[in-house]
Structure 1
Amino acid sequence: MDRSIPASTRTPTPPPALEAALGLAGVDATERRRLLAPDRIVRRPLPLRFDDGTTRILEAYRVQHDDRRGPYKGGLRVHPRVDEAEVVDLAARMTYKTALVGVPFGGAKGGVRLDPRPLSDTERERLARGLARVFADLFGADTDVPAPDVNTGPRDMAWLVDELGRLNGPDRAAVTGKPVEMGGSVGRASATGRGAVDVLEHHLEATGRTLVGARLAVQGFGNVGSWIAREAVRRGAVVVAVADQYGAVVEPDGLDVLALVDAVAAGRPVHDAGTGRARPRDSVLGVDCDVFAPAALGGVIDADVATRLRAGIVLEGANGPTTPAGDAVCDARGITVLPDILANAGGVVGSWFEWEDNRAGRQRDLVEHDRELATVLHRAHDAVLSASWRHACSLRVAAHLVAVQRLCAAGARPSGPAGRIGAPSLVSDVGVVDLRAA
C-alpha cells in the first residue's frame, strides 16, 4: 500500500529569481499557487530483492508538478541523498524548463533513495522493473513520461519501458532516453551537453564574442560534463580544467578531452587519464577561465565559492548548481549565469524529439536532431536575453519570467492524468497528495 503523506495547504516559498519573475509577470494569488504547488506528490514502497536473497524496502518518489502544457515529464534518479524536498524542487524546475523552451510537456521528477554503485546488473534490472510496477498507474505517453537522470541511463529505460509494456500494453513513447534500437533518439545521449554548448556559443555571439579560444573549466565528467567538454573543444574552445568525484586535472594550455573520455569509459578517474596536472577535486572551483560549467549535482556554487570563481560566465549544466546566495554574489561581481532551465534544457528537447518520433513511427537522423536542437535552444535564449534587457534583470529572472508567462498563457489543461488516477482532491489514494484543489 501507499503511505499517507500529509498535504500542506500553504503555497511553497519560491526562490528569489522565481519570486522576482512572478512579480514582473503580475500573477494573482490563485495563479501563483498553481505555479508553485505541485499537482501530486506520490511516495510508495519499492521492494528490491538483492542477489544474496535479502529484500530491502526502498522509498520511491514521483512528483507531478504541472501538466497544463502537456504530459508530465521528468527523469528518474537513484542516489543515496534523494528525498521528497529535492524531488519536489526538481519537478518544479522541469515545469519552468519545458515552458521556457516551448516543448509540449509539463514538469515531473522521480527518485529512489539508494546508492546504486554496488548493484549488480540483475539488481539494477529489478530496480528498473520495480519502478515500472510501482508507478504503472502514473506512467504513459499521454500522462507522465519518465526519462534518465542521475545514475540512470538508456539500459534502465529499456527495462522500464519493457515492463510498462507488459503491464499497460506496448508503447515506446511512454519512456524517453531509451537505447536507439528500442526507439531511442540518435542524439539523446549528447543532447544535454551539446545543447549547453549551443546556448553558450549563441550567447557569446549575441553579445559580440566568440567561443573560439574561450577557456572552460568543467566540474563533473559524467554524461553532461563530458559532452560539454567534447563539444566545446570541437567548436574551438579550450578545456583547461576538469573535475570528477575523485579529483581534478588542470592544464592552462588545454587538456586532451578525448583521453579523459577514454579514461572514464574504462572506469578510471580523470586524474589517471595521462593529461594535465592532478589537483584536489575542489581546485576546479578557483581555476582561471572564461567559462565555469558545473555539471554534477546541485548546490555547488554557494556564496563562498562564488566569491572565489575566476570566470566571467557560469554555464549551468547541472540542475540547481548555484544557491540563491551564490547567485547574488555572481550578480554583484558581474558574472553572467546561463541558468539551468535554459542551459541544460537540451535533454528535454531531445526527449521531445524521441517522444514525437515514437508517436509518428519515424526517427530523426543525427544531423536533423542537432540542427533542430540548436534552433529550439537559440529561440529560447533570444527570448530570455530580450526579457533580461527589457526588464533590466538577470538571465535567471528573465528565464523564469518567460516560463511563467507561457504557463499563464496556457491556462488549464482540459484533460490529463487526473482522469486515470482519480478526481483531484487534497489526498487521492493513500500516499498520493493532489494539490490542484487545495
Structure 2
Amino acid sequence: MNYDFLDESGQILREAGRLGKIDPNVIEFLAAPGRVVTFRIPMKMDDGSFRVFDAHRVRYNDALGPSRDGTRISTDLDLDEVKSLALIMSIKHAAGRIPAGGGKGGIVADPRELSDREFESLCRAYIRNLRPRGRAYDVPGADIGTDLQTMSWMLDEYESVTGYHEPAAVNDKPPILGGSLGGYEATGSGVFDVFREAAEQADFDIENARVAIQGFGQVGSVAATMFYEAGCDVVAVCDSRGGVYSSDGLDIPALLAHKKSTGKVSDFAGSEPIVSEKVLECDCDVLVPASVQGVITADNADRIQARMVVEAANAPTTIKADAMLLERGVIIVPDVLANAGSVQLCQMERSQGLSDNYWDIDTINHLRQKRLARSYREAVTTAAEHQLKSVRLGAWINALKRIEEAMHLRGWC
C-alpha cells in the first residue's frame, strides 16, 4: 500500500488553513514540527548479545501549552509517522479545547521479542535518553506497544533521575501511582460517545444498527462492548490474526472471553471467518476502523456499505477515499474527534495529578462525554458555516483558529 501519512496530514493542514482563512505564517510554522529528537539506545540482551534501538520524540507545537502524549513501540515506526501523529495530536488537543500542544514519540522495537527485563530496560533507557523536563514541557503517554506497566516504569525512571515525585510528568499510568480512573476504557468509550452525538445530529437510529469493527485491541474491544450494550448488532470484528462475522450479531461478552482464553477472535462459536479487508466492506450501517492508518482508500471506498464511518484509528481514511465517501452521503466522524477520549482523559489525569485531588469514575465519564460531544457539535457548526460536507475540516479549522490565536498573542507571528 502506497500511503504517505505525513503528506496526507500536510494536505489537510493546508486545506483547512485555506478554508478557515488562517494566517499563512501560522500554516508555514505548522508545516513542520517545532522540535524533533532522534537518538539510539544501546542494550545488552539477556543472551549476552548487543542491540541498538532507534527512538524518536517530536514536539510539534506548544503554543497552547506543554506538548504531550503517545509513545509507540513498534517495528514499523518511522520518523515521518511520528511527525504526522504529533501534528494530529496538536489538532486533537486544540479541537477539544485542551490547553496542550501535540507530542508523539516511540521506539523501533517489537515488545514480543523482548524478555520482561529487556523490555523494562528499554522503556527506562528511553526516558533517560529523552531527558524529559517534566510536566510543564513535554509529557509522554501510552500508545501502541505501551500500557499501564510501561508508563509506570517510565514515571519511576523519570523520578529516579530527577530525585522527586512528579506524577503529572507521565500520562496513562495506574491510579495508584497518580493516574486516573477510566484510562483503559477512555478511547474506546469515547468512540461511542462521539458516535452517539453524531447519530443524534444525523437522526440516525442507534438501536439495532449493524456495526463492523476492524481492530479488536484495547480500543476496538471497548468500543464493541459499548455498541453492544447500547443495543447495536456488532456483526463483524477482526484482530491481527483473523476475523469473525455473524449476520445476527456477535455476543461481544462471550467473544471477549473467547479472545482472553485463546488470544484471538478467530474460531468463535456461531460465527463465520472473515478477513480484515472484508470487514471494511461488509453489510453494515456503522463501520469503525480501529487498527491502523490508510485502510480505507480510493481502491475500496466504492465497496464500503456503511452509512457512517467512525474513525477509532488515526487517519484510517485517505483524502481521496474521504471525498468519495462524502460524495455518496456517508457520514464520517473523524479521528481527531472520534478517538479523542484518551486526550480528554489525559487532561483530567494531569489536573488530578497537579492538584493531588482524585475524582470518582462517574465524574470522569460525565466530563469525557460532555467534552467530546461539545467538540463534535462545534465541528459540525463550523463545517456548516463554511458550507462543507466534511466534519473533519470543521474540526481542523476550529483547532487551527485556536492555535493561531495563541501564536498571535504570544507574538510568534
TM tier, shorter chain? Answer: over 0.9
User: What whole-Å deviation, never above 9, does each CA across 1:193-244 have from its counterpart, x for those lacking one?
Assistant: 1011000001111222232221110000011101110111112212110011
For the structure 1 residues 364 and 396, does the alpha-carbon distance in structure 2 shift closer, same or farther, using more than 3 Å as the test?
Answer: same
For the structure 1 residues 67 and 55, does the alpha-carbon distance in structure 2 shift closer, same or farther, using more than 3 Å as the test?
Answer: same
For 1:301 and 1:413, how far apart are their aligned partners in 2?
39
1:15 Cα deviation from its structure 2 partner: 3.8
Quote the residue 1:203 is aligned against: 198
1:275 Cα deviation from its structure 2 partner: 4.5
Quote the residue 2:27 is aligned against: 32
1:106 Cα deviation from its structure 2 partner: 0.4
For 1:299 and 1:59, how far apart are their aligned partners in 2?
24
For 1:412 and 1:112, how far apart are their aligned partners in 2?
35
Matching of residue 146 in structure 1 with residue 140 in structure 2: yes
Q: Is the 8 A contact 2:266 2:273 kept in 1?
A: yes
Give identity over the alignment, percent: 36
For 2:177 and 2:168, how far apart are their aligned partners in 1?
10
Matching of residue 123 in structure 1 with residue 109 in structure 2: no
For 1:82 and 1:40, how far apart are their aligned partners in 2?
18
Matching of residue 411 in structure 1 with residue 393 in structure 2: no
Q: Is the 8 A contact 1:248 1:283 kept in 2?
A: no
2:91 aligned partner, one-letter code: Y
Choose the corresponding residue for 2:308, options 290, 309, 313.
Answer: 313
For 1:288 and 1:263, how far apart are their aligned partners in 2?
24
For 2:169 and 2:340, how far apart are their aligned partners in 1?
20
1:403 aligned partner, one-letter code: A
Matching of residue 19 in structure 1 with residue 14 in structure 2: yes
1:152 Cα deviation from its structure 2 partner: 0.8
For the structure 1 residues 280 and 13, does the alpha-carbon distance in structure 2 shift closer, same or farther, using more than 3 Å as the test?
Answer: closer
Matching of residue 383 in structure 1 with residue 378 in structure 2: yes
2:393 aligned partner, one-letter code: V
TM-score in terms of structure 2 length: 0.94
1:143 aligned partner, one-letter code: Y
Q: Is the 8 A contact 1:201 1:210 kept in 2?
A: no
Choose the corresponding residue for 2:98, options 97, 103, 108.
Answer: 103
Q: Is the 8 A contact 1:243 1:249 kept in 2?
A: yes
Q: How does 1:240-319 map to 2 (within 5 A)?
A: 240-319=235-314
Deviates more, 1:139-148 or 1:376-385: 139-148
Q: Is the 8 A contact 1:298 1:319 kept in 2?
A: yes
Quote the residue 2:207 is aligned against: 212
For 1:14 and 1:298, how far apart are their aligned partners in 2?
11
Deviates more, 1:161-170 or 1:323-332: 323-332
Matching of residue 365 in structure 1 with residue 391 in structure 2: no
Deviates more, 1:141-150 or 1:14-23: 14-23
For 2:9 and 2:138, how far apart are their aligned partners in 1?
24
1:413 Cα deviation from its structure 2 partner: 7.9
For 1:139 and 1:117, how far apart are their aligned partners in 2?
30
For 1:59 and 1:395, how far apart are their aligned partners in 2?
37
For 1:135 and 1:262, how far apart are their aligned partners in 2?
39
Kindly report structure 1 stretches of 4+ aligned residues shifted beyond 6 Å. Answer: none
Quote the residue 1:331 is aligned against: 326
Give the CA RMSD over aligned residues: 1.9
Choose the corresponding residue for 2:393, options 377, 397, 403.
Answer: 397
For 1:412 and 1:364, how far apart are their aligned partners in 2?
35
What's the secondary structure of 1:17's corresponding residue?
A: helix
Matching of residue 63 in structure 1 with residue 54 in structure 2: no
Aligned residues: 406
For the structure 1 residues 53 and 413, does the alpha-carbon distance in structure 2 shift closer, same or farther, using more than 3 Å as the test?
Answer: farther
For 1:249 and 1:411, how far apart are their aligned partners in 2?
49
Higher relative contact order (CA 8 A, sep 6+): 1
1:12 Cα deviation from its structure 2 partner: 7.7
Point out where structure 2 has 5 or more consecutive residues left out of the alignment. 1-5
Choose the corresponding residue for 1:157, options 151, 164, 174.
Answer: 151
1:411 aligned partner, one-letter code: M
1:205 aligned partner, one-letter code: E
User: What whole-Å deviation, never above 9, does each CA across 1:100-125 have from its counterpart, x for those lacking one?
Assistant: 00111100100111122222211111
Quote the residue 2:3 is aligned against: none
Q: Is the 8 A contact 2:69 2:171 kept in 1?
A: no
Quote the residue 1:235 is aligned against: 230
For 1:186 and 1:306, how far apart are their aligned partners in 2?
38
Choose the corresponding residue for 1:50, options 45, 58, 63.
Answer: 45
For 1:159 and 1:371, how far apart are their aligned partners in 2?
30
What's the secondary structure of 1:269's corresponding residue?
A: coil
Q: Is the 8 A contact 1:139 1:146 kept in 2?
A: no
Matching of residue 349 in structure 1 with residue 344 in structure 2: yes
Q: Is the 8 A contact 1:65 1:92 kept in 2?
A: yes
What's the secondary structure of 1:320's corresponding residue?
A: coil
User: What whole-Å deviation, never above 9, does each CA across 1:143-196 have from its counterpart, x for those lacking one?
Assistant: 101111011111000000000001123201011110121112111110101011
1:298 Cα deviation from its structure 2 partner: 0.8
Q: Is the 8 A contact 2:9 2:84 kept in 1?
A: no
For the structure 1 residues 108 and 412, does the alpha-carbon distance in structure 2 shift closer, same or farther, using more than 3 Å as the test?
Answer: farther
For 2:43 and 2:351, how far apart are their aligned partners in 1?
33
For 1:84 and 1:217, how far apart are their aligned partners in 2?
31
